[in-house]
Structure 1
Amino acid sequence: MVRASGFVIFLLSSVQLAVAADIDGPLVGPQDAYEVPVEQASGGIAGYIEGSYGAGIDTPGDIDTDAWDLRGAVNFDAGAGMNLQVDLGYTRASYEDADTNSYDGALHGYYRNDLYAAGVFAQAARLDPGIGVDLNDYMGGIEAAYFLDTWTVHGAVGFGQASVSDFDDIDANHYMGALGVRIYATDNLRFDIDGKLDRLTEDNLDYDLRTLKLTANYRLETFPVTLFAGYKYTNEELSGLSASVSGDTSTIFGGLRFSYGSTTLRQEERLGPVWSNNRLSF
């Protein structure tokens, strides 16, 4: 029963946080009429700071949910194609009358040239659902991206462990897979399609979190600010012990991103932060 309770905590916590926008950071690549790569700068620093708000519009039991999200990322180009990206984030979510706080961070080390990027990542997240215990999640994995003139495709796979504090016997294996496409209508108008699957397994229990996110991004011509808004669909399922429980959540979100070290949305992706922090839920 103690083990099952840990997954119930997991399910309730992630429903709360499914309303927050998982705001992705950008990638890198080419640009000319024949899809020949654009020359890359080296030794630079570029990044962004962003804030967003998301609200559930269709939740299990019509529960009121919303969340505020503050995130930042910075990319260091060391030259010769070697890069280091650092992400930090904080989310404040409400689930009816309960509030949760979560903190996350990630480190990405990778190589990129004009056509692709590939590397490894390590990340950690901590969720405080306000019930006297914390959920901790640690993961590592690999990620890659492929760049053409008007679109970018990127993906990641990872493995880690999630645990509930004060319960030494509650440890779940965490498997993650993510795939996304970013499509440029202009240098400052981009549409993102992102999908992700998280699976946590512990003894005879499985928890699956499936998400699909659609985002429109527009960067102002005269000021380094990007406006973004979108829709996120989340499906959650807890199965095992000859039973299963599932639920769907629809969320709308919007926010502002302030960028530095780039002059357009496309350049921000291709010279600055490439990767997203593949944190659990949100």
Structure 2
Amino acid sequence: MIFKYNSLVLAAGLAAGMIGSTSAASADTFGPMDTSGFVEIFGSHSDAIEDNSSGANDNYTGGGGGGSVNFWLSDSFTVQIDGNLNFFRNDPDNDTEHAIEMVVHSGWRDPERGYIGAFGGLISYGYAGADSDDSNQWVAGGEAAVYLDMITVFAQAGFMDTFNRAEGESFEDTYFVQGGVRYFATSNLKLEASGGFLNGDEYGDTPVDMPFWRAEAEYKPEDTRVSWFAAYEGYSEDEDGYEHTNHTVMGGLRIHFGQDTLMSFDRSGASQGFLNSRMLQMADDQ
């Protein structure tokens, strides 16, 4: 409950920061800013399809929100704070589920060249209203990005483990890597493709391999703070005696502050990504 409360406090702080920044001037450059970031809301629908005869076909309808704030502590050092909350319903079982993440990124950054740093945070997921405790995990790792004209190449590697397992359901001793490319057709039209791989133990001692992938398009009209995005993401979970593939489509909006264009957000704002907890909860539910 403390973790959920902290997530709500963070979300309120992000919203307050956005409102307080609406009158501040934003420079359409790739230079340091005191504060920049975004808040977002979205809806989603997922279908999990069994790849053998051992599992069930499930679908999930849900939504959520959250945001990120990026601070420049000096001309070459940044800190980014993320907070996200997801709710979704497993339609066949009529279970309401949630996934929460709070992550901090920090490192060296040059808006004309790239970024290299580290991240750490907490993840919590489980069933709303259930008697059992949530699965709570810590995560840490390293990340980097290279800025190449209208293209950004990024990569991330990390490790996560549990400090509170709900009925044996969580990822333990788990490593993951992911990377991708962002292409800016214009300074306010972003196309992104990414993918990765997760390897660890699930349900206490069951080995699991899980490739995952994502594609997103985001557009922000000129002279507005609001952008619209649509995304497709998925994963394929392979564990002993059971395989399934999950496909998710989602769409929503983001309200930005502190920079004028999507490209300047990428180079100078809150643009470090993370392995999403929504995927972990869906995989645990299967």
Instruction: Please state which band the TM-score falls in when normalised by the shorter chain.
Output: 0.7 to 0.9
Aligned with residue 118 of structure 1, among 116, 120, 140: 116
Structure 2 equivalent of residue 224 of structure 1: 225
TM-fit CA distance, 1:129: 2.2
1:265 and 1:255 mapped to 2: Cα distance? 16
> Residue in 2 aligned with 1:53?
43
Residue type of the alignment partner of 1:259:
H
Residue aligning to 1:106:
103
CA distance in 1, matches of 2:116, 2:254: 25
Matches for 1:179-198 after TM superposition, within 5 Å: 179-198=179-198
In structure 2, the residue matched to 1:155 is 155
- Residues 179-231 of structure 1 show CA distances to partners (whole Å, capped at 9, x for unaligned) of 01101111111110011222222675212232111111111113111111021
Q: Which residue of 2 aligns with 1:78?
A: 73
The residue aligned with 1:136 is 136
Structure 1 residues 198, 281: CA separation in 2 closer, same or farther (over 3 Å shift)?
farther
Secondary structure of 2:259's match? coil
Report the residue type matching 1:103 in the other structure. Answer: I
Match of 2:88 in 1: 93
Q: Distance in 1 between matches of 2:167 and 2:47?
A: 34
Name 2:208's counterpart in structure 1.
Answer: 207
- Counterpart contact for 1:213–1:231, Cα < 8 Å: yes
Q: Distance in 2 between matches of 1:280 and 1:133?
A: 16
CA contact (8 A) 2:135 2:166 kept: no
| Cα distance in structure 1, aligned partners of 2:170 and 2:277 | 17
> Is the aligned partner of 1:253 residue 2:234?
no
Q: Secondary structure at the match of 1:64?
A: strand
Aligned equivalents of 2:154, 2:169: Cα separation in 1: 36
CA distance in 1, matches of 2:36, 2:188: 17
The residue type equivalent to 1:49 in the other structure is V
Q: Which secondary structure does the structure 2 equivalent of 1:42 belong to?
A: coil
Provide the C-alpha distance between the structure 2 equivalents of 1:279 and 1:62, rounded to a whole number of angstroms.
Answer: 22
Deviation at 1:57, TM superposition (A): 4.8
Distance in 2 separating the partners of 1:39 and 1:219: 16
- Do the aligned residues in 1 keep the contact of 2:218 with 2:229 (CA within 8 Å)? yes
Q: Flag the 1:257–1:39 CA change in 2: closer, same or farther, 3 A.
A: closer
**Inter-CA distance 42–133: structure 2 relative to 1 (3 Å threshold):** same
- Asked if structure 2 preserves the Cα contact closer than 8 Å seen for 1:197 and 1:209, the reply is yes
What letter corresponds to residue 198 of structure 2 in structure 1? D
Question: How far apart are residue 281 of structure 1 and its match?
Answer: 4.6
Looking at structure 1, the residues matched to 224 and 166 of structure 2 have their Cα atoms a distance apart, in angstroms, of: 48
Question: Which of 241, 254, 260 is the equivalent residue of 1:263?
Answer: 260
Q: Is the contact between residue 105 and residue 277 of structure 1 (CA under 8 Å) also seen in structure 2?
A: no
Runs of 5+ consecutive residues of structure 1 not aligned to the other structure: 1-37
TM-score between the two structures when normalised by the length of structure 2 = 0.78
Aligned residues: 241
Give the structure 2 partner of residue 28 of structure 1.
Answer: none
CA distance in 1: counterparts of 2:165 and 2:104, whole angstroms: 24
Aligned to 1:4: none
Q: Could you tell me how far apart the structure 2 residues matched to 1:163 and 1:191 are?
A: 37
Cα distance in 2, alignment partners of residues 182 and 92 from structure 1: 27
TM-score by length of 1: 0.79
In 1, the alpha carbon distance for the partners of 2:30 and 2:155 equals 21
- Structure 1 residue 169 displacement after superposition: 11
Structure 2: give runs of 5+ residues left out of the alignment: 1-27, 51-55, 280-286
Report if aligned partners of 1:125, 1:279 keep a CA contact under 8 Å in 2: no
Distance (Å, rounded) in 1 between the aligned partners of 2:166 and 2:246: 30
Q: Which amino acid aligns with 2:259?
A: S
Q: CA deviation at 1:279?
A: 3.6
Structure 2 counterpart of 1:7: none
CA pair 219-150 structure 1, distance change in 2 beyond 3 A: same
Q: Partners in 2 of 1:135 and 1:209 — Cα distance?
A: 19
- Which AA in structure 1 matches 2:103? A
Change (3 A) 1:259 1:43: closer
Specify which of 30, 42, 51 is matched with residue 32 of structure 2.
42
Equivalents in 1 of 2:267, 2:218: separation in Å?
Answer: 15
Distance 2:236 2:105 in 1: 28
- 8 A Cα contact 2:171 2:200, kept in partner: no
Matches of 1:146 and 1:222, distance apart in 2 = 27
Q: Output the amino acid matched with 1:54.
A: S
